Every structure is written in structure tokens, then in C-alpha cells.
């Protein structure tokens, strides 16, 4: 995969503070990466869906912030679906609650995916893989 130095950040609208915190962390640790995200979620619009797919396709990888809000976040779930379909590298991170969430509570798209704890090590390892 050709390196674009872009990283897509996927989060629920209600988790904008977490998204912004992650962007600050990435900018500090990997300033060569540009963080890309969809500030508005209009998953009912086909034009929005296509724009989202193109943004995800243009990135080296995707970090999805998984919280209890993800369950009802159709826009975020579309972003993650695009990441899986376009075969981007994906890191799903969450707090303790998200990591321990029963698979019954997770959307079908995420039931078989690993959600890792949000920590510096997990993020650094993922970013290192993107930059090879």
C-alpha cells in the first residue's frame, strides 16, 4: 500500500472530545501524519457515504474509537465498514467499558473484532506499522 501519511479517525458524534484528544496525541507522537475525519455524520445521504468512502480509501489506516455511543452511531459504523471493505489497517480502541462490552451489545460489524485498550503503546505500535 502506498503511503499517504493520512490516518482516518472514526468516532461517534457524541465522542468528539475523545476524537480531539486522540488527534492531539497523534500530532505529538507522529507529526508527519495528517488526521482525517468526517466532522458531520449524514449516513442517510448517498453523497456523504461516497465522500466518506473516498476519504477512508485515501488513508493508510483507520483508528476507531469504540464507546457505548458506537452502538447507535450509524455514521461511525459506515466509516468503519468503509475501512474494512477497502482493506485499510484498522485499530479499534476503547476505554475499559468498551473493551469489556459484551459481544451481544456490539453492532454486528464489530462482534468479531478486537477492541484494544486506549493506551500509548497500542497506538504507537499501530502507527509504527502504518509508517513501514
- What does residue 40 show for φ and ψ, rounded to 5 degrees? -115, 145
C-beta atoms surrounding 81 within 10 Å: 18
* Structure confidence by residue, pLDDT tens digits, 27-52: 998 888 999 999 888 888 899 999 99
Mean pLDDT throughout 51-72? 94
Query: Domain 6-130's class?
Result: alpha beta
* Structure confidence by residue, pLDDT tens digits, 99-117: 666 555 777 888 788 889 9
Residues whose CB is less than 8 angstroms from the CB of residue 14 and which lie 6 or more positions away in sequence, other chains included:
67, 69, 73
Strand partners, 94: 66, 117
DSSP string over 57-104: HTSSEEEEEE-GGGGG-HHHHHHHHHHHHTT-EEEEEE-HHHHT--TT
Produce one character per residue of 96-111: b if its CB has 16 or more CB atoms within 10 Å, e if not: eebeebeeeebbeebe
Q: Cell numbers at residue 61, please?
A: 489506516
| Least reliable range by pLDDT among 21-30, 32-41, 81-90, 94-103 | 94-103
In this predicted structure, the answer to whether residue 57 has a pLDDT above a threshold of 70 is yes
* Residue percentage of the chain with pLDDT more than 70: 90
* Residue percentage of the chain with pLDDT more than 90: 62
Cβ 88 vs Cβ 59: under 8 Å: yes
Three-class SS state of 110: helix
Amino acid at each position: 500500500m502506498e503511503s499517504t501519511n493520512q490516518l482516518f479517525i472514526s468516532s461517534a458524534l457524541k465522542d468528539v472530545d475523545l476524537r480531539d484528544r486522540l488527534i492531539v496525541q497523534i500530532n505529538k507522537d507522529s507529526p508527519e501524519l495528517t488526521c482525517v475525519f468526517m466532522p458531520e455524520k449524514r449516513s442517510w445521504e448517498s453523497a456523504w457515504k461516497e465522500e466518506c468512502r473516498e476519504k477512508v480509501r485515501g488513508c493508510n489506516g483507520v483508528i476507531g474509537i469504540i464507546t457505548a455511543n458506537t452502538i447507535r452511531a450509524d455514521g461511525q459504523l459506515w466509516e468503519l465498514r468503509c475501512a474494512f471493505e477497502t482493506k485499510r489497517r484498522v485499530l479499534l480502541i476503547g476505554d475499559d467499558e468498551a473493551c469489556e462490552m459484551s459481544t451481544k451489545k456490539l453492532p454486528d460489524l464489530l462482534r468479531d473484532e478486537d477492541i484494544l485498550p486506549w493506551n500509548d503503546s497500542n497506538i504507537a505500535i499501530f502507527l509504527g506499522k502504518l509508517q513501514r
